[in-house]
Amino acid sequence: MSTKTVLVTGGAGYIGSHVVRQLREAGTAVVVLDDLSTGFREAVLDAPLVVGNTGDAALVDAVLREHHVDAVLHFAARTIVPESVADPLRYYANNTCATRNLLEACVRHGVRRFVFSSTAAVYGPTADGRAGEDTPTQPISPYGCSKLMSEWMLRDLDANGSMKHVILRYFNVAGCDPHGRIGHSTRDSTLLFKVACEVAVGKRGELAIFGTDYATPDGTGIRDFIHVEDLADAHLRALDHLDRGGASTTLNCGYGHGYSVREVIAAVERASGAPLRVVERPRRDGDIPALVADARRIRDVLGWTPRHDDLDLIARTALAWERRLAARGA
């Protein structure tokens, strides 16, 4: 990579820390900006960590200047759909307004490459449960809206020549570093694999299935689950794409096939060797029946080939990390 220093916002969080580790393994200079509200200092293995928020203009200016940053990977955000429905202004402030501040600082300091952590929540329901990058965006949660508004800002900065970008629309991220160095440590997570593994190790008493009457084969929601290691690799390839002069683009990050909630539970049960206590609950606001990525474009544009497309592997790595956390009382 030709970049001098990459700023990774939210680099102490679940996905960001995996990307930072892969960047450092590739020999890239990295600085992390994270307010540690959901991230963990120990997840930043060997990069400088600046504790603070992307909404702090003076701090962002100082980081960009002092570390000679010429590319940004932006992960810092609130990401819980039901929480966004209950407190939408928090999401617009933290996700959209703080991103605007970061982008303004980047333009001011001449940062020309930006990789943005977006979400499949920008799509909303689709007729066939699949979404390609050209599928109309119609988010049904403030979370999805807050991310889409940030995408629009990047589109407009590309149009006026200020900055090139890659927008990566994540589907459902799961799993952990197969070598157990870092993992998903977020407290009170709502992500299915994380919750299921916490039940498996006794940290939670039960796992709730929200909605069992969807028009799917087993009545539960279907999602496209992507291993965090493959997602992290997509970010490095996105940065390489921009470093080589590639055009701004938007790409789905998924495997192109889905699993139901009950199938995920079964995978965690296989990994743990014991059944999970499961309860059934009504549907949640902001959830949709099925959403699977059309993931052909990312393979064509970035040459990305996933290496961890295996539901049982995802379950084993997620559970191994949860057992590690339980062993140290975390």
- Write out the catalytic residue numbers: 143
Residue 180 sits at φ, ψ, to 5 deg, of 75, 15
**Sign of the alpha-carbon dihedral angle for 29, 12, 44, 301:** negative
What is the DSSP secondary-structure string of 303-324? ----S---HHHHHHHHHHHHHH
Strand 222-223 relative to strand 164-170: parallel, antiparallel, unpaired?
Answer: unpaired
- The 3-state DSSP class for residue 34 equals strand
CA 203 – CA 199 distance, rounded (Å)? 6
- The 3-state DSSP class for residue 274 equals coil
Can you list the positions of beta strands (E) in 198-305? 207-210, 222-223, 225-227, 249-253, 259-260, 278-281, 290-293
Under DSSP, the state recorded for 93 is I
Residue 136 burial class via C-beta count within 10 angstroms: exposed 0-12, middle 13-18, buried 19 and up: exposed
Q: How far apart are the first and last CA of the chain?
A: 36
CA distances to 99, 166, 191, 200, 277 from 117, in Å: 11, 9, 17, 30, 33
Structure tokens at 152: 């629009």
Query: Whose CA is closest to 130, among 120, 143, 117?
Result: 120
